[in-house]
Amino acid sequence: MIESQPANAPTIGVFDSGFGGLTVLRALIEKLPRARFAFVGDTARLPYGSKSRRTIARYAVESAQFLVREQGAEYLVIACNTASALALDAIQDAVPVPVLGVIEPGATAARHASKTNDVLVIATDATVQSQAYTGACRAQGLRALEKACPLLVPLVEEGWTNHPVTEEVIDIYLNELRAEAWLRGLNPDTLVLGCTHYPLLRPLIERAVRPGVKVIDSAEATAQVAAQIFNGRGCPILAEPAAADSVRVGGASIEVPQTEIRCFATDSVEKFERLGSRFLGRPVGKVELLDLGG
């Protein structure tokens, strides 16, 4: 047991179809450093975007039930845009604990940030096809224009997060998106990052947007909502600073909270351990192999 964790600290379960959701876990740790976390990456069955809604719901429910039943999670964060868009209701019906997705918090943050009520969303094909952000933004009184950016995820996983090719690809996508917004008579002043890989590209994206356009990170927005919920439940101690360790990530020494984390992957454990630190901003440690069935 890590000494900085309160004896009654809840376990927060975090689920993703891969390891991109570690950016959500990273944001949660920053907001709730003294909570315990259990993370599942369903790497054996990604990408979820090519699956049917029914299959996505079954996969997501299996991971959610593992986190609740086997890891004692008292709260779930679905750190996967596709699962949040297509399976949130099924997950909520399947587990007896509160469940938070990443889409509603992103839309809420966009409403607070936007003055024109016109927002842009970049995401994966599956998330865009679901139109989940469009619906969530509409519920907030916003007009949203979504665009799929399929090249960005492989560029991030290749480690090209500060590469001229990635910068050019982002410029092309955003120019296309701006042109479509102009044709539709929109005046967007906010851009939502609708994929958990995209926070690693935020510096490039912020350089590529027009002056005055605010960039909303759904991972940060989700963590902020989770922190507000736990503060409201009388758990403000979870947000107090935890003792820190000095660790090396990417050749640099950084201070990270001594937060209790267990990571599980359904396949490619070595790849998860190798790439996970890019997303989490700290070593992920020993990743445990998890068998959820077919």
**For helices 269-280 and 22-31, what crossing angle results, to 10°?**
50
Hey, what amino acid is at 45? R
Residue 216 near residue 174 (C-beta atoms within 8 A):
no
Closest-CA residue to 197 (of 282, 100, 113, 275): 275
* DSSP reduced 3-state for 121: strand
Strands 143-148 and 11-16, by their bridges, are unpaired
- Ranges of beta strands (E only) in 140-286 are 143-148, 190-193, 214-217, 244-249, 252-257, 260-265
- Which residues share a beta bridge with 144? 119
User: Catalytic positions, please?
Assistant: 80, 195
Neighbours of 26 (CB within 10 A): 20
Cα 132 to Cα 140: distance, rounded to the nearest angstrom? 13
Which residue reads 């909520």 in tokens? 92
